[in-house]
Structures are given as C-alpha cells and as structure tokens.
Structure 1
Amino acid sequence: DRIIVETRGSGPDVVFIPGLGSTGAAWRSTADRLDDRYRVHLVTLRGFGGTDIQGNASGGLAGPAAAEIERYIRQQGLVRPALIGHSLGGQIALRVAAGMGDGVSRVMVVDSSPFFPSLVDSRATSAQVEPLARLGYQALLLFGDKALNSQAATLGVDMGLAGDMVFQGLGLQGGDRRVLAQGLYEALTVDLRPRLSQITAPVTVVYGWTRDPENPRNRLEGLYRYGFQGLRQPPRFERIEGAGHQVMIEQPGPFLAAVRRFLA
C-alpha cells in the first residue's frame, strides 16, 4: 500500500524510482528503449500523480518506500538489480542500496544528493534547515504545489539551487498534498551521508550541467564530490549538458546513452 510497480521486458533487472511529484511514467521513454534487453520495474510512490495515497497518508515517505522496494526485490526474486533514482528517488535508491548491500549490483542517482542543503552550504545541518522545511511543508498543504514556488519565497523558504532541485519536481505530475508535503520535508531534512559507507555497489551520479560559469550547475560536480565522499569507492560522474533538474526528460538522448554506459 506504499508503492505501485509496473514491470515489463526480460533480462537483467533495472528498478527505476521517480522523484518528488513524479510517477513511473517519468521513466517510460527511457524504459521503452531498454525493455528489449532488460526487465524494467517502474516504481510509483502512492499519492504521486493521480494514484491513491493509501498507506502514504500517514508516517514517513522515503523510508517506508525504500523498505517496500527492498521487499519487492526479495519477493519477486530479482537478482542483484540495478537501481536508478531521480531527485528524491535517488535518495530512496541510496537507502535501498545501503540496506541490501551486495543484493544490489549498481546505483545511478540522477540530479540528487545525499543531503540537498549541502549543495548550498557544506556546513548545513538538518537541524538548521528544519524550520525552513517546516514552512515549505505548511505552505504546500495550504497553497498546493502549483502556487508553492511563488509563495515559498514570500514565506522565506529560499535554498538556492538545492531548493530549485527539490521544488521543480512538484508540479511535474503533482499529487496528493499530504504526500507531496511529506516528500518535500524529507528531501530537505534527511541527511543520508552517514549511510553512504554501507553501500557496497558502485554509484554513478548523473546531473544537468551548463558551460555558463555564473550558473550554479556549472559547479555541481565539485559539490557532489564532497557530498558523496563517504562512499567506499568514489562515484562516477556523468554530466548532461543542456539539462536542468529533469535530466531524462530535457535531454533524453544523452541521458539514455549515459544509462546504457551505466548498465554495460
């Protein structure tokens, strides 16, 4: 009652996890090019898009979703699947990889960070960010996802690039305000850096990039290197020029090429 999974194709298993406010449909164009060689599993967190919220009406979101994905992998007999997660889904993929150890073959996180506020200030802590995250949570419940971007600035919720990355996903497919607000709060406050040492699978970080030196995206790799330094082995970085946060939608060709390299 926490997730929905659409499965098709045959071959090695690849689990796709969407970001905040997205369903498995966000991955469909990528999966369509892979299901002749791989068995793809498109996860949707209940409450995103037009799906019934069910169990996600209360409690946490990302932690229970990760636990359900782990249970799905075990019950369906997936053999060391690859995980690909975008934004909040990237954080969920890191949770699953930390929990399953060698049960996962590799992990790709797409425009995601173990702790989003560290992209603004490496010294930031969850406790410091929590009041802003709480304001965002309340604003989303009050105004809804479509109005939140403009209202957030009025309420003082401004986290620069990290905020843009988290907020930009909200209006893509939307969803139930309760689950969107909980996902927003967790994306801004949960720090997964202490769990990185539990991940044994190799990690690839894909992110949107620009040549413009004045754009914060130009400097993302350095920030990611710092944020992911707790991994047992350094991650591989794949930058996709011309993409923002929705990398797989904005630059589908280069993104698919990066996925093929990741799975090869």
Structure 2
Amino acid sequence: MPIIRLDGARVHYTDSGGDGRPVIFLHGGFGSSSELWQRTIDALPAGWRGLAIDNFLRSDAPPDGYNIAALARRVAAFIDRLGLVRPVVVGHSMGGVVTQMTAARYQDKLGGITLVCTGPSMTNHSLGRALLAQLESSDIDTMREISAHWFRVLPQPFFDGYVERAKAAPISAMIDVQASLIETDMRADLPDIALPALVVWGAHDAGRTMEHAQRLLDGLPNSRLAPMHDSGHSPMLETPEAFDSAFHAFLTSIPETNT
C-alpha cells in the first residue's frame, strides 16, 4: 500500500496501477476510508486507473488540521506529486464538498468531477448537525449507530468492517472536519466551475436530499443528474449496478486530454 509525503505529512492511498486515465476517489467523514471505493475501483472500465486517498486512517493529519480547505490542498498536492493528468475527482458526502473546493481552487488540474450524495452547504441538513453533536457527547461505541445512517440497507459483510475502521479513526479528526463542513458554503463558487460534473443522488438519502442535489445542478453550469432510485446515502455499495452504469457513461463522455 503506497504512502507518499505531501506538505510534510504521510498520506496513504490505494492505486489500481497501470497507465490509464486517472480517477481520484475521496471518502466521506465520520471515519470513512478508501475501502468505501474499492469495489468501484475494481469495476472501472478498461483504460482507467483508480486511486483512493485515505485521510483519517493510515495517514497523518494535514499541517493545517482537519478541515475542508486543507483536504482540498491535499488533493491538489497529490495530483502534482504523482504527475496525474487531468484526473476525474469523485467525492462522497464530505468528500464531495472537498471535491467542490478542489474544483473551485484548482480547476486547471482536473478533467471532471463526480459528486455523490453531497451538496454545496449544510443548510437544511439537520442530520449532519445532530450526528456531530452525538459524536461530541458520546464515546466511540456510538459509531455503529452513526454509520448505519449511511445505508438504506446495511451491506454485509462490508458494514461490519466499515464500523471497525471508523472506530479506529481519531475522534478529534472526525469532529474537526465535520465542524469545518458545517461552516463551508460552496454555493457562490459553483457557477465558476466549468468542468463536466455528475451529481449522484440517492432517493432514500435522509441527509443529502434532492434539495442538496438541486443546488449543485443549479450552480454547476456543466452538470447532469444521476438519480439512484433504490439507494440511500451510499449508492456505490447499495445499488452498485445502477451507480456503475451512470458513472461509467459519465467517464466515457469526458474528452481525453494530454495537457
């Protein structure tokens, strides 16, 4: 499992290898990790290379601490360090907000973005605020209850491993990044992001509702919606065939560039 140094911090990532067009996958908050994306990486079509960054597990904290801006800088540094040409960046939940900020601040480095069950702000997101309060006032044993919110139907055996990895993540890191997420509002930045954008929405997502997806669609000038009608917050695992179909079609629609 490769580890590199970015801004003095050790950063772990997974890499499917090869010389295909790169796709960078970003996990969400609350102790999530690169394992969230392994099935999706394994299913990538020929000609694509999947890389997934770990932020809570196996990696050091960013020098400026756990916040959305620091994680976006980490993505930009990752692209430069590995010499990746116009990668597509895919972010789930909190990782989707990191993706938006990366696109807003480092647009010339990217080829496209995919935003999975996320939104540009936490307006009308009472669940995210309630879960932060729960994490702040409880011990790590509540992580199983918190993690269950991310799935309509718990995907076993993946879910048990997900909970154990989340328990191993630093609580302070999860709290800090969630607090930063609540403070972040990307709505004013969206119209300047001209990249091709796929917005994936789970019809049964209790936190990131269609209102959040619609804000992305209204703001991003080159966006399209991929509704996942039978999914909750994690369609890449709950309805993988529907997710792959929409995601692969989006990838093949992005023109290849060597500059």
If the TM-score is normalised by the length of the shorter chain, which range does it land in? 0.7 to 0.9
Q: Residues of 1 paired with 2:115 and 2:212: CA distance?
A: 14
Query: Contact 2:202–2:233 (CA<8 Å) still a contact in 1?
Result: yes
Deviations 1:106-149 (A, max 9, x none): 110000001132467xxxxxxxx9xx95x865642441354279
Query: Contact 2:200–2:226 (CA<8 Å) still a contact in 1?
Result: yes
Q: CA deviation at 1:14?
A: 0.5
TM-score by length of 2: 0.76
Indicate the residue corresponding to 1:160 in structure 2.
Answer: none
Q: Structure 1 residues 178, 35: CA separation in 2 closer, same or farther (over 3 Å shift)?
A: farther
Q: 2:198 is aligned with what amino acid? A: T
Indicate the residue corresponding to 1:159 in structure 2.
Answer: none
Indicate the residue corresponding to 1:111 in structure 2.
Answer: 117
Q: Structure 1 residues 229, 181: CA separation in 2 closer, same or farther (over 3 Å shift)?
A: same
Q: Structure 1 residues 150, 83: CA separation in 2 closer, same or farther (over 3 Å shift)?
A: closer
Q: CA deviation at 1:234?
A: 4.7
Q: Could you tell me which of 202, 210, 214 is aligned with 1:225?
A: 214
TM-score by length of 1: 0.74
Q: Could you tell me which of 79, 86, 95 is aligned with 1:89?
A: 95
Pair 1:259 & 2:247 matched: yes
Pair 1:18 & 2:15 matched: no
Q: 1:236 is aligned with what amino acid? A: R
Q: Structure 1 residues 94, 253: CA separation in 2 closer, same or farther (over 3 Å shift)?
A: same
Q: CA RMSD in A?
A: 3.3
Q: CA deviation at 1:171?
A: 4.7
Q: Residues of 2 paired with 1:26 and 1:44: CA distance?
A: 10
Q: CA deviation at 1:193?
A: 1.1
Q: 1:17 is aligned with what amino acid? A: L
Q: Residues of 2 paired with 1:172 and 1:144: CA distance?
A: 14
Indicate the residue corresponding to 1:155 in structure 2.
Answer: none
Q: Residues of 1 paired with 2:10 and 2:101: CA distance?
A: 16
Counterparts in 2 of 1:42-191, with a 5 A limit?
A: 42-45=52-55, 47-48=56-57, 51=58, 54-56=60-62, 59-118=65-124, 133=129, 137=132, 139-147=134-142, 171=163, 173-174=165-166, 175-191=169-185
Q: 1:60 is aligned with what amino acid? A: Y
Deviations 1:87-113 (A, max 9, x none): 001111111111122321111000000
Pair 1:207 & 2:201 matched: yes
Q: Structure 1 residues 58, 97: CA separation in 2 closer, same or farther (over 3 Å shift)?
A: closer
Secondary structure of 1:84's aligned partner: strand
Q: Residues of 2 paired with 1:28 and 1:224: CA distance?
A: 24
Query: Contact 1:137–1:182 (CA<8 Å) still a contact in 2?
Result: no
User: Any stretches of 5+ residues in structure 2 without a counterpart?
Assistant: 1-8, 253-259
Q: Could you tell me which of 11, 17, 24 is aligned with 1:9?
A: 17
Q: Residues of 2 paired with 1:138 and 1:119: CA distance?
A: 13
Q: Residues of 2 paired with 1:61 and 1:241: CA distance?
A: 32
User: Any stretches of 5+ residues in structure 1 without a counterpart?
Assistant: 121-128, 152-163
Query: Number of aligned pairs?
Result: 230
Q: Residues of 2 paired with 1:61 and 1:216: CA distance?
A: 24
Query: Contact 1:101–1:198 (CA<8 Å) still a contact in 2?
Result: no
Percent identity, please.
Answer: 23
Q: Residues of 1 paired with 2:36 and 2:144: CA distance?
A: 21
Query: Contact 2:26–2:52 (CA<8 Å) still a contact in 1?
Result: yes
Secondary structure of 2:61's aligned partner: helix
